[in-house]
Amino acid sequence: MRTRIAIGGLAAAIIAGAVLLGGVLAGSRETASARSTAATVPNLFGDFSAGNTASLVLQLQSGLRARPNEAKTNALLGLAYQQRARETGDPSYYAKSDGVLRRALRTEPSNLLATSALGSLALSRHRFREALALGRRAVALSPSTARSHGVVGDALVELGRYDEAFAAFDRMSTLRPSLSAYARISYARELLGDFVGAVQAMRLALDAAVAQPEALAWTHVQLGKLFFGHGRVRAADREFRLALAVFPGYVYAYDQLAQVEAARGNLRRSIALERRAVDVVPLPQFVTALRDLYDVTGRKRQARRQDALIGTIQRLLAANGVKTDLEIALFDVDHAVRLPQALELARTGYRDRPSIDGDDVLAWALARNGRCVDALHFSKRALRLGTLDATKFFHRGMIERCLGDGAEAKMWFRRALSLNPHFSVLWAPVARRYSA
């Protein structure tokens, strides 16, 4: 289903066309690359036919007709619904998952699977304090189970409690090294500015994704994004193509190849690739990327259409319990939409998510509202881990410029561009202009 349809039909289009969720709204092209990469996994549950989550759901539902309160069946169905949300993009699966997982816990309050699945669900909905509590509860139920430590660590990262988060990831890797553990450790190293270590961990993650085509494709895409974020366009391109080789038609790879083409100046080709991703699954981050590509190529009408689509997706997410304040704030700040309200939204989002990303969005929102002294405080916080992130560097440059420190501003713009000259189709040209 195409997204180039009448606005009135958008909601239906999204549901039918399947927004792979977990995503969030975002402004810049960079943002688009960062988002959740949910993926369908053919061998989920070790089922015997690929992509069979739908039939698994049916089986579990029919099992529940005989025993509606069976804890494990409800817990499994809760997980299967989360997988369906990822496969179809229909966020109403989150509400369904919530329902059956809570039913499982009513029957069996200390059910580990249901507890940690609720934790995963809370993460998907960006309810990080809730996720932390659930993850901790899962750890208490079974300290020796690796997976629960991952839920705890993910929540702590989003809450800005990095030392505790990294300890949780280390614990996870000690208990059971796996794709999940390696990918998390890679991310933690990336946050710490350890690019080489992050790449190394992703290489181990690739090996732990062996024999699972979609997970392997996902891992290639993550590694490719890591390369792209550090200006290694060719290495990134290779990973995205490998993702397509192991999993043909993988939309996340098309989305990322669009960024590669944009970096190479092939904007027409970039738009074609991004449309290919959006046409299959109109994820908010894909739509945002497409919107910005239209914008920078002067196709303002098409860009506005994407804005409307993004708004609709946003309402669907909110209706199903997903918090996206920070994402909307960033989108609005990037695109200069209702700046004072965007700042308020950023503050609200920050309370739920006081991470370095929260710091950065709040800093950027403050700066765009002319509050540059306050902005500097949060920008410093955003960079406190030593993270190598061109967009955060760019925001800092804008803040320094606003404060009148031209030399310092230029230094940050140059840092951003030397790390990744293609960090944003919207903002990289601005950084170039101001760094000269």
251 binds other proteins (CB under 8 A): no
Among 124, 28, 42, residue whose Cα is nearest residue 333: 28
Site for other proteins in 196-215 (CB under 8 A): 196-197, 200-202, 204-205, 207-215
- C-beta of 186: minimal distance to other proteins in Å? 6
State how far the Cα of 50 lies from the Cα of 97, in Å rounded to an integer: 22
| Shortest distance (Å) from residue 201 CB to other proteins | 6
Residue 228 and residue 385: Cα distance in Å, rounded?
A: 20
> In the chain, how long is the greatest CA-to-CA distance?
71
As measured in angstroms, the least distance from the Cβ of 123 to other proteins is 6
Under DSSP, the state recorded for 403 is T
For position 76 contacting other proteins by CB under 8 A, the verdict is yes
Q: How far is the CB of 387 from other proteins (least distance, A)?
A: 4
Stretch that binds other proteins, among 79-87, 261-269, 274-282, 307-315 (CB under 8 A): 79-87
**What single-letter amino acid sits at 276?**
R
- Smaller CB distance to other proteins: residue 67 or 304? 67
Exactly one of 124, 314, 379, 435 binds other proteins (CB under 8 A); which one? 124
8 or 175: CB nearest other proteins:
175
How far is the C-alpha of 328 from the C-alpha of 307, rounded, in Å? Answer: 11
Residue from 52, 59, 266, 369 that binds other proteins (CB under 8 A)? 59
CA distance 227 to 399: 27
Restricting to residues 294-333, name those near other proteins by CB under 8 A.
326-327, 329-330
- CA angle 208/212/218 to nearest 5° reads 80
Number of residues near other proteins (by CB under 8 A): 131
> Per the structure block, which two tokens stand in for 354?
């006081």
Q: What sign has the CA pseudo-torsion 329, 330, 336, 337?
A: negative
CB of 432 to other proteins, least distance (A): 17
Stretch that binds other proteins, among 95-103, 142-150, 366-374, 399-407 (CB under 8 A): 142-150
- Nearer to other proteins by Cβ, of 241 and 299: the residue is 241
CB of residue 94 to other proteins, shortest distance in Å:
11
Q: Give whichever of 42 and 272 is closer to other proteins, judged by the CB atom.
A: 42
CB 280 within 8 A of CB 89: no
- Burial code (b: 16+ CB inside 10 Å, e: under 16) for 323-337 equals bbbbbbbbbbbbbee
186 contributes a contact to other proteins by CB under 8 A: yes
Of all residues in the chain, what percent are helix, strand and coil, respectively (each to 5)? Answer: 75, 0, 25
Distance separating alpha carbons of residues 163 and 172, to the nearest angstrom: 14
Which residue of 226, 289, 310, 417 would you call a contact of other proteins, by CB under 8 A?
A: 226
CB nearer to other proteins: pick between 27 and 282? 27
Cβ(80)–Cβ(103) below 8 Å? no
Helix (H, G, I), strand (E, B) or coil at 319: helix
Is residue 225 a contact point for other proteins (CB under 8 A)? yes
Within 10 Å of residue 166's Cβ, how many Cβ atoms? 19
Binder among 3, 14, 70, 105 for other proteins (CB under 8 A)? 70
Can you tell me which of 14, 18, 86, 294 binds other proteins, judged by CB under 8 A? 86
Q: Site for other proteins (CB under 8 A): which residue of 112, 343, 409, 428?
A: 112
Under DSSP, the state recorded for 323 is: -
Rounded to whole angstroms, how far apart are CA atoms 347 and 341?
A: 10
Site pattern 327..366 for other proteins (x: CB under 8 A): x-xx------------------x---x--xxx-xx-----
Residue 150 binds other proteins, judged by CB under 8 A: yes
Nearest Cα to Cα of residue 166 among 144, 189, 145, 183: 189
Nearer CB in complex with other proteins: 18/24:
24
Q: Find the binding residues for other proteins in span 385-404 (CB under 8 A).
A: 387-392, 394-395
Closest CB to other proteins among 72 and 432? 72
* Residue numbers 14-53 binding other proteins by CB under 8 A: 22-24, 26-28, 30-31, 33-50
Joined together, the tokens standing for residue 274 give 């991004």
> What are 26's two structure tokens?
């975002």
